[in-house]
Structure 1
Amino acid sequence: MRRPPVGGRDYRRSVAEYRERESRLDRAVVWSRTMPAASGPVTVFPDGCMDLIWTEGTLMVAGPDSRAFVAPAARAMEFVGVRFAPGTAPTLLGVPAVELLNQRVDLAEIAPSRTTRELVDRIDNAPDRVAALEAIALRFAADNGPADPALTAVVDALSAGATVAETADRTSMSARMLHRRSLFAFGYGPKMLARILRFQRALAALRTGIPAAHIAAVTGFADQAHLSREVRDLAGCSVRTLQTR
């Protein structure tokens, strides 16, 4: 199973307890986290993913991000979620990703409220809330079908450093079709997705202590200054800040 990128999610550096495992649903992970009462803000970096999240009587959908999302400090809370690899959630949930760009919305806004209430009650009363939410995601997949494999091919090509033109050629799409389908699947065009995937490659390397100049050279940036600009734009902080978090 191909594991979706999770490097942009900064949960583990901000909370007392964070756990994740691969899901029985293809190209997804399930996770849980407990926010202690004294916890500070949680930062989520763009990674192309979408999440279905339960927290204390609420089911919400976290849309794709094009910039860092900062969740403010809150009281002690429990969260469980399913994180879908780029391009897979819109088909399962029946909503274009572009409609959820940089948003967190109640599932009841995109699904019947009665159905949502039943799902929330099921998780609220489950002895294993992670398993209960995973079962709901599996049911969505069974009802709505898998994501288009052509979109997986788009992610794979861009992750490997292919240009947008090369990606369109490899997936037998015109540039216009690739852009239109990317808006539905990812929430933004292929150029933006490529930037986010490249940022994720750099982020993973930055946290290992590799010099930024070398990272820029091997992850597809023109130079270190280009890397710095992209980090500032997508993460809202400096390269040095990322290296020390």
Structure 2
Amino acid sequence: MSYETVEYAERPSRVAGAVLWTRTAGGSDAPVYPVLPDGCMDLLWSGGRLLVAGPDTRAYRPEPDGAARYVGIRFYPGTAPAFLGVPAHELRDRRVDLADLWPSAEARRLTERMDAAGDPAAVLESVALARADGAGPPDPLLAHVVKALDAGRSIASTAAEVGINARLLHRRSLAAFGYGPKTLARVLRLQRALALARSGLAFAETAVVSGFADQAHLARDVKELTGMPLGELLSPRPH
């Protein structure tokens, strides 16, 4: 986001696997930081607008908009479609007004509640909890797919573990994650590598531990998914 000073905070939500986050700022001259692919989807509020951030296949670079505060809930991979009522692939690489997905009156009432709330994050969480209760518990198959791919398992072995064929896994992944398991695995591997590199692990060792063939493979994948070299991504920045 484009601000001189940015404060970011997050905490676990009572919605299974979700995270509540806030970002506040007080200026307009700092660089705009990209939002990196992570397999998640967010519902966020800012400046009187409620937006859905769909699953990204590449870095998203927000335009400076002058908003000083953002509040959001980040859903665990595969869980947002049940909350939103929209297949994830319809929102891939998009930012969409909630009013385009929900009945306009419902979206307007929620926006008004957020605008008037002293704690907008609590309002978001309460709405998410209510809709999650109505939708029922998340599909355990999807959580297993995320964990298996994040552990570096192949798509074939992941499909076998959950008891479906690769074609059905791909179809269900499109609806749940916004893209197929191959892209999901690549995004999760990117996040593993970034976490290891930020911990101080050498790039060559980061590549091996996170599942890349070598450091050159890591560098190529990072550049393709984020548009930036790994060293630049690791420079200090808000979340």
Percent identity reads 52
Contact 1:42–1:73 (CA under 8 A) maintained in structure 2: no
- TM-score relative to the length of structure 1: 0.92
Contact 2:53–2:94 (CA under 8 A) maintained in structure 1: yes
Contact 1:37–1:74 (CA under 8 A) maintained in structure 2: no
- TM-score relative to the length of structure 2: 0.94
SS at match of 1:244: coil
Given the alignment of the two structures, is residue 30 of structure 1 paired with residue 20 of structure 2, yes or no? yes
Q: 2:141 aligns with which of 147, 150, 175?
A: 150
Contact 2:41–2:54 (CA under 8 A) maintained in structure 1: yes
Contact 1:40–1:74 (CA under 8 A) maintained in structure 2: no
How far residue 14 of structure 1 moved from its aligned partner, in angstroms, is 8.1
Give the whole-Å Cα distance in 1 for the aligned partners of 2:223 and 2:154: 23
Given the alignment of the two structures, is residue 19 of structure 1 paired with residue 14 of structure 2, yes or no? no
How far residue 15 of structure 1 moved from its aligned partner, in angstroms, is 5.0
- Match in the other structure for 2:176: 185
- Match in the other structure for 2:95: 104
Q: How far does the alpha carbon of each residue in 1:106-164 deviate from its partner, in whole angstroms, 9 at most, with x for none?
A: 01111100000011111111121111111111111122223211000100100111000
- Match in the other structure for 2:190: 199
SS at match of 1:51: strand
In terms of mean alpha carbon deviation, does 152-161 or 38-47 score higher?
Answer: 38-47
Which blocks of at least 5 consecutive residues in structure 2 are unaligned?
A: none
Q: 1:138 aligns with which of 112, 121, 129?
A: 129
How far residue 37 of structure 1 moved from its aligned partner, in angstroms, is 2.5
SS at match of 1:71: coil
Instruction: Give the aligned residue type for 1:33.
Output: R
SS at match of 2:34: strand
Call closer, same or farther: CA 1:15–1:43 in 2, change over 3 Å: farther
SS at match of 2:109: helix
SS at match of 2:73: strand
How far residue 76 of structure 1 moved from its aligned partner, in angstroms, is 4.1
Contact 2:10–2:22 (CA under 8 A) maintained in structure 1: yes
Q: How far does the alpha carbon of each residue in 1:208-235 deviate from its partner, in whole angstroms, 9 at most, with x for none?
A: 2211101111110011111011000111
- Match in the other structure for 2:108: 117
Which blocks of at least 5 consecutive residues in structure 1 are unaligned?
A: 1-10
Given the alignment of the two structures, is residue 87 of structure 1 paired with residue 78 of structure 2, yes or no? yes
- Match in the other structure for 2:61: 70
